[in-house]
Amino acid sequence: MTMLQHDVVDFTVPAFHNGKLEEVGKENLLGHWSVMFFYPADFSFVCPTELEDLQDHYEEFKKADCEIYSVSCDTQWVHKAWHEANDKIGKIEYPMLADTTATLARDLDTYNEQSGLAERGDFIINPEGKVVAYEVISSNVGRNAEEILRRVKASQFVYEHGDQVCPAKWEPGDETLEPSLDLVGEL
């Protein structure tokens, strides 16, 4: 079953964000673009490299009206401890969600019942709270923030220009295509 156009469940979870504990809910996703970035666990191996990569591109995501929410099944207290103990994680400015009941991981089908952890999954959520793009990959392969940002921008473009599509490697300013019978077999 596809997660495309899936309406994210109504939720409220604790989060660690900019040195404070707060709550984040579905209402925080609405009205702007979001990336829900699931990872298996704090104090692990590949995860800090991914979260640092997202932070290194965080300003670009914000310029694209897109908030990043990192999500694991760890508690907000573990997020805080990791933030204080690890230089890579200590740079993070986006909210780190504590999905301790796996509500979000189950809703977006990234929860691994055997390990009790979320798999690596990233979900691009439109301003209405619906999934428009996602990937879930093996827990030993890190992801690339630049590619996620490119997919956010392409998703935003087609959201605003429904009569056009973005070809492979499309970047803002590149040509798009208008699907038509005339293009069939020409590309």
Contact 179, 170 (CB under 8 A): no
Secondary structure (DSSP) of 42-54: SS-SSHHHHHHHH
Annotate 6-32 with three-state secondary structure: CECCCCEEEEEECCEEEEEEHHHCCCC
The torsion angles phi and psi of 16, rounded to 5 degrees, stand at -105, 125
Contact 95, 117 (CB under 8 A): no
* C-alpha count within 13 angstroms, C-beta hemisphere, residue 105: 25
Catalytic residues: 47
Straight-line distance from the first to the last Cα atom of the chain, in angstroms, rounded to the nearest whole number: 30
